[in-house]
Amino acid sequence: MENSQDYVIEMLHITKEFPGIIANDDITLQLRRGEIHALLGENGAGKSTLMSVLFGLYQPEKGQILYNGKEVKINDPNDATALGIGMVHQHFKLVDVFTVLDNIILGAETVKHGFIQKAEARKKVEELSEKYGLHVDLDAKVEDITVGMQQRVEILKMLYRDNEILIFDEPTAVLTPQEIEELMTTMKGFAAEGKSILFISHKLNEILEVSDRVTVLRKGKYIGTINTAETNAQELSNMMVGRPVQLEVVKDEAKPTDVVLKTEHLTCPSHIHKNKKAVKDVSFELHKGEILCIAGIDGNGQTELVRAISGLDRKGVTGKIIINGEDVSGAPVDVHSKNMSHIPEDRHRHGLILDFTLENNMVLQRFKEPQFQTRGFINQKAVREYSDRLIEEYDVRSGQGSITIARSMSGGNQQKAILAREIDRDKEVILAVQPTRGLDVGAIESVHSRLVAERDKGKGVLLISLELDEVLSLSDRILVIYEGEIVADVKASEITAQELGLYMSGAKRMERKEA
């Protein structure tokens, strides 16, 4: 048995209930000093709830929290901060219009005679950022810096407060592969220094790479804690999901047939710099029965391309878009969506109406169809039945079924709901933009197999993804986009990750024959 002095934080037998659901059911988590402890679980497994309990945002019904072996009561985040607990939230808590420095010192300002001592603060932040290699422009406004830098600001915030226990809530969900690499190095550096890290994630390879031990939760229950060195991805994912999981995408060779989506010399203006072009002369063809992936590092024109193809952007867009044989260039969204499903990148902003019930979200494009209305009156019963069927078929989990408010659902289930809605619309083209972003392996598996199934039914799937693993395993053909241009057009089976990386970073390009 280990001495309890080894643990800096122990959460013992924590139980936290919400109406209709037990989010944490007798969960124990023990964090050693100087270790990176991963907390693994599917969406809705109770990871965030457990961390919110530790951070003082929720009070558990049962259980106790020990700090250095002594019981403590954490009533609010101030108590947590006093214990040296810091957290990088999945959605950053930064003031957009403040500078980086202001954000870092916010709430922990050094004050002399009522005046903020910015020079002192600046010195301390500069030292920290130098020491840990966390480079940021202290005078830039947060709204102007990249997501990766914003995360560094969050990390610096914790360091500035001399936190010894650092919680990272799904920190890699928003990062590019390079940024993830840097973050891993930083985290290891912290641990080597004696700081203790709780790393919440559902990305197995990251957990295997960086953590010392893993605690697995499933549906609010504690499954076990194991040493990372003694396990592998398959075992972890089985623990997490509760059944053997297929980590590799299983699919047959694609049998592409007719062209179902075609762009000709598509050029789109940039969203950030109005005068620049974000997409330059892009021509490609998507066939029925294939998954075509547009791969690239974030910000190389994918957003603009998607908005043009879906009909959201029309201003300044030149070139042709042909969906299912119909030229839809310059037409509004509903003309595009007549033959195309769209799984948008940002499910909160674009995919769902968060204040609507799940059932109302399920019919967002379809409520005017005859089956859901009679003379302008919504057929509530038909909507309910339809929604119940989708929930059943696509395993969308929520507190109250069809009448759940979308906002209260977990991210993974929100995504499943969007997927259910879009796939069930049964259109020739499926435009899937980062369909597995922020999802756990169980959910990723189901999204992937759904998309493959749709492909096999003869649909054309246009996948936009930033994740190399997904690009390589799911797609049949890959187009690499770099600075708005297609720089490679290859079969997925004929390219390696390294080579793909070279194309994505612009180090290499392929001469294409005109599509």
Partner 1 sequence: MKEKFFERKSVQSVTASIVSILIGLIIGAVVITIVGLSDSSLGIDSVKEGVSLIFAGLFSTGRNAAGTLTWGFNGQNFGNMLFRATPLIMTGLSVAFAYKTGLFNIGAPGQYLMGTMTSLMIALSLPSDRISPVIIWIIAFICAMLAGAVWGAIPGFFKAVLNTNEVIACIMTNWIAANLVTWLFDISNLKNEVESTKMGYIYKTTYNGVATAKLGLDKIFMGSQINAGIIVAILFAIAINIVINRTTFGYELRACGSNRQASEYAGLKSKRNIVFSMAIAGALSAAGAALYNLAGNTEFFWSTYQSLPAIGFNGIPVALLASTNPIGCIFSAIFMSMLDIAGLQLTNLTAYNEYISSVIVAVIVYLSAFSLVIRNMVVKVVNRKKEGGKK
Shortest separation between residue 400's beta carbon and partner 1, angstroms: 7
Q: Which is nearer to partner 1, 32 or 425 (CB)?
A: 425
The three-state secondary structure class of 474 is: helix
Question: Measured from the CB atom, is 259 or 354 closer to partner 1?
Answer: 354
If the CB atoms of residues 117 and 373 are measured against partner 1, the closer one turns out to be 373
The CB-of-335 to partner 1 minimum distance in angstroms stands at 8
Query: Closest by alpha carbon to 17, among 53, 43, 69?
Result: 53
Q: At closest approach, how far in Å is the CB of 84 from partner 1?
A: 31
In whole angstroms, give the CA distance from residue 254 to residue 240.
31
Helical residues (DSSP H) of 76-117, grouped into ranges: 77-82, 100-105
Nearer to partner 1 (CB atom), residue 86 or residue 344:
344
**Residue placing its CB nearer to partner 1 in the complex, 340 or 452:** 340
Tell me which residue of 336, 362, 364, 365 sits closest to 462, measured CA to CA: 336
**Amino acid identity at 76:** D
SS3 content of the chain, % helix, strand, coil (to 5): 35, 30, 35
Nearer CB in complex with partner 1: 132/356: 356
Residue 11, both tokens: 């959460």
CB of 350 to partner 1, least distance (A): 5
Output the smallest distance, CB 364 to partner 1, in A.
4
Smaller CB separation from partner 1, 164 or 345: 345
Burial degree of 319 (CB within 10 A; 0-12, 13-18, 19+): middle
Q: How far is the CB of 353 from partner 1 (least distance, A)?
A: 4
Name the residues that contact partner 1, by CB under 8 A. 19-20, 310-312, 332-334, 336-337, 342, 344, 349-356, 360, 364-365, 367-368, 372-373, 376-378, 380, 400
DSSP-H helix ranges across 133-243: 147-160, 177-192, 204-210, 233-241
Comparing CB distances to partner 1, the nearer of 19 and 244 is: 19
CA distance 179 to 298: 12
Least separation in angstroms between residue 444's CB and partner 1 is 23
CB of 471 to partner 1, least distance (A): 24
Name the minimum Å distance from CB 153 to partner 1.
26
Backbone angles phi, psi at 442, to 5 degrees: -60, -45
Residues 6+ apart with CB under 8 A from 30: 7, 9, 10, 11, 225
Nearest to 350 by CA among 437, 275, 461, 292: 437
Q: For the chain, give me the number of helices (H) and strands (E)?
A: 16, 24
Question: CA-to-CA distance for 300 and 323, rounded, in angstroms?
Answer: 23
Least Å from the CB of residue 407 to partner 1:
10
Which residue lies nearer to partner 1 by CB, 342 or 455? 342
State the Cα–Cα distance between residues 476 and 471, nearest whole angstrom. 9
**In angstroms, rounded to a whole number, what is the distance separating the alpha carbons of residues 267 and 264?**
9
DSSP string, 333-390: HHHHHTTEEEE-S-IIIII--TTSBHHHHHTTTTTTSGGGEETTEE-HHHHHHHHHHH
Closer Cβ to partner 1, 289 or 311, answer by number: 311
| Alpha carbon separation from 260 to 139, 155, 462 (Å, rounded) | 49, 46, 10
* Centroid of chain to Cα 24: 23
Nearer to partner 1, 92 or 367 (CB): 367
Assign 345 to helix, strand or coil. Answer: coil
Q: How far is the CB of 421 from partner 1 (least distance, A)?
A: 10
